[in-house]
Structure 1
Amino acid sequence: TNPNYTIKYDITYFDKLLREYQMDKFNLKLNNSATFKRINIGITAFSPRRGQENLELKKFLSAELESNAEVMLLIQEAIYGPIFERLMPMSYASHVTKAASNLSKKLKPYIGIHWRMERGQINLMPKCAESLVTYIRNLSLTTGIENIYLATDYPLVNNGNNIAQSRTFHNLGENHHTAMKILHSSFNVNTWVSTRALDYLQLYPIEGEHLKVELNGGGIQGIFDKLILINADYFIAGPEECCRLRSTFTFDIEERRQELFKNNGTIKNTIDRWIL
């Protein structure tokens, strides 16, 4: 057995489920006598591509997750890619796909950029922005495409707390702000905020504070961003020095774009990275 794989039984998890995940909103028949099984796999499945090849991990998880339970609740899973055979994915909510489709049609043709600043070298952020500006200008001159859409973990909503869109991005600082100023001063950058594409959510019966919390994280707007980037004419992501290179978000977009590129040819690339 791999020494990185450990099993621990923990019965103190119930209160955390109520406090952090509000699981009492679901009819799961949970109570404080439930036993929770904590499975640790180390960093074995860090890479989205590597997980599929790890037969030892597949065998281990298949055995440990075998259960007759009607509902299996997985919390804080940290496998960054599929390791089992894929089933048909659940569809996104129709109102989100419709909103994304409407904006995509309005922007066409457009260049989609994903810049996840987390784990980029902080001192290089302004230089990263300058190199991105140069790259996009050259691409625009070559293709004639002027519209740009940006998906980023940089805080697009001014919530007064200087909190990034990603809950794991904690070192947001002046160099990140400078980089974003460089980008916005060079182009008319479209985002889910500037286009007001998700304003329709305010019409739904949801409390304003709950909606604010949702939009300050990586939730529904992350799905929206992904759909917009999948359908961009060109998709651009950052070099290793400038961003989180191993991003599941980017990997998912690349996979979907490979299918589009192969099947209908309506997009011009699968993914390119600007050069620092």
Structure 2
Amino acid sequence: MTKIISNNPFYLFYFTIHELMKPFSLCLMLAFILPNYILFMIYDFELQQALPDFHQLIKEKKSIDDFGERNDYIPNIQQNLENLEIIINKNTYINPDNEINQKYCQNSQCKFLFVYSNSEPETKTNVQFINTFAHLANKLNRTLVLTNVGTSRIDSCNKFPFEFYYNIDYLKEKFPNLSLISQDNFQFWTNERIEKPNFHYLHLSSSSSTSSTSSSSNSSNDVPIVEDIQLDNDGGDINCLKNFEMNYNNFNPYQKILFRSDLLLKSSYRKNISKFLISNLKNSNSEILLIKNEINKEIFPSHNNNNNNNNTTTTTTTTTTTLSNPYSDSINHETWKINVALEPFVAIYWKMIDINDSKILLDCAKKLINTLKILKENIHYNNIYLATDYPVSLDFIQSSSSSYSFSYRQTRHYRRAIHLLNTTMTINTWYSLNAFDKIIKRKENLEEFKGKGITNILDKLVCTSSDYFITAPSECTLKSSNNFIKDIINVREKLYYDYDNQKIQNIISKW
């Protein structure tokens, strides 16, 4: 065999390489094994330093068993065993909820403020949410849950995300340090948590001075009344909270806070109750502040002197002066398209639903037509835009029959008034101008367009930006406080007086 190898150059080369690789392989193995061995020895040494001396413990235990003495050593032994358990747990257990919290809050601990139900509709709701609850979350250093919206309300039962109505960037601009999370992501967080999060339930409500004076001490000062309550788990107060996997146990605090409704307009009272809320909630360890709000006014006093009641801030361009608003880009885009299509134009707001006497609607329509004819002679306008709470198409009238308390006889008066307007002059509405044409085609979104909801916001913005704005006299509309008109007046006054916007021909007029 040796002779064959020596006579064959190939085998000789192979044999030489094979012999040379042996020491190289040995070095390679040592390069991998030796560092790991050193690391293991270092770890074992550090662990031995941290662990108690078991030989000493055994000796002490034996000494106690043999002699029944040195009872003072027993607590020390127990403590050492507890320390051993802590060391083992720290080295082997990682709480998965910390990773879940880090995923959604960028922190090992999450603290949220979730207004799951807000009773007030648009246009008050955006003022409350931004000026009250965003402000409160910011003060308490909690992440604000951006509750879903729909049918002109902020409510967890609605299906549209917060940005369907509102501009999140506007909110971030007002509160740059405020953390935000969508309702969907908040729900995912509760579902993924192994140990379900606890909460502090707050029901914010108001009462008159007479009904809130159950104790003389409370009636003589500005301190809100705090009552312990029970949450109705069969419905009612529970709303859509069943979609969120929280820890519904008897140890969560359930409270109702009553504010004096007759004092909420006073800034001094709002200042006192805002301090009360912050001081009582800032040290709460609950992971969620769960709020049901029935207050129809701002709780916090205005913290920015540049903000008016409808949450607008001013921005100046080279061509005109405009006011930004808290609404979404899609709503503002539809407003811009209508302005371009109609300008110059007159906007009419007619709230006719639930009028006391529907028989006078036809006379009101005739009076409106005469006003428009006179207006045409005095100012130059090309088009008319009608904002109304009455369904603006036959499709909506038929599908909304259950939504409005119309009898056939009442419906006849409404239809006659609208028909007279349409046959006398061209009346434009959001529907006739195909606003939100992509969204409205989906059947599941039909409810949003039955006179309330996103179209209500669009009507407000169009009326605000119109060249001339008129509304119904008291006998032709429902007599009630109308925040819709108040918001329009506030912005138009600012544009007309403070910024000299030449487009605005009047603030408001009645026909």
Q: Does 1:11 find its partner at 2:231? A: yes
CA distance in 2, matches of 1:162, 1:243: 20
Aligned pairs for 1:77-226 (under 5 A) are 77-79=295-297, 84-85=301-302, 89=311, 91-118=326-353, 120-122=355-357, 123-157=359-393, 158-159=395-396, 160-163=398-401, 170=405, 173-174=410-411, 175-201=413-439, 208-226=442-460
Match of 2:473 in 1: 239
State the Cα distance separating 1:138 from its structure 2 match: 1.0
Which consecutive residues of structure 2, in runs of 5 or more, have no partner in the other structure? Answer: 1-207, 214-224, 312-324
Contact 1:117 1:244 in 2 (8 A): yes
Match of 2:86 in 1: none
Count of aligned pairs between the two proteins = 256
Change (3 A) 1:273 1:210: same
* Root-mean-square deviation (Å): 3.5
Match of 1:75 in 2: 293
State the Cα distance separating 1:151 from its structure 2 match: 0.7
Higher helix content, 1 or 2 = 2
Q: Provide the secondary structure at the position in 2 that maps to 1:241.
A: helix
Question: 1:134-181 deviations in whole A, cap 9, x for unaligned?
Answer: 1111112221313011111101242324449xx7x6457232222222
CA distance in 2, matches of 1:93, 1:201: 14
Which consecutive residues of structure 1, in runs of 5 or more, have no partner in the other structure? Answer: 46-50
State the Cα distance separating 1:121 from its structure 2 match: 3.4
- Alignment TM-score, normalising by the size of structure 2: 0.44
**One-letter amino acid of the counterpart of residue 149, structure 1:** Y
Change (3 A) 1:83 1:121: farther
Q: Provide the secondary structure at the position in 2 that maps to 1:210.
A: helix
Change (3 A) 1:217 1:113: closer
Contact 1:4 1:40 in 2 (8 A): no
CA distance in 1, matches of 2:303, 2:353: 29
State the Cα distance separating 1:253 from its structure 2 match: 0.7
- Alignment TM-score, normalising by the size of structure 1: 0.76
Match of 2:155 in 1: none
Question: 1:76-121 deviations in whole A, cap 9, x for unaligned?
Answer: 4434x89831655372111110111111121100000111114533
Change (3 A) 1:83 1:197: same
Residue in structure 2 matching 1:37, options 233, 239, 256: 256
Match of 1:265 in 2: 502
Q: Provide the secondary structure at the position in 2 that maps to 1:148.
A: strand
State the Cα distance separating 1:189 from its structure 2 match: 0.8
State the Cα distance separating 1:265 from its structure 2 match: 2.9
Change (3 A) 1:2 1:161: same
State the Cα distance separating 1:38 from its structure 2 match: 6.3
Question: 1:190-216 deviations in whole A, cap 9, x for unaligned?
Answer: 11111101103258xxxx333111112
CA distance in 2, matches of 1:82, 1:271: 29
**One-letter amino acid of the counterpart of residue 177, structure 1:** R
CA distance in 2, matches of 1:129, 1:28: 53
Change (3 A) 1:216 1:202: closer
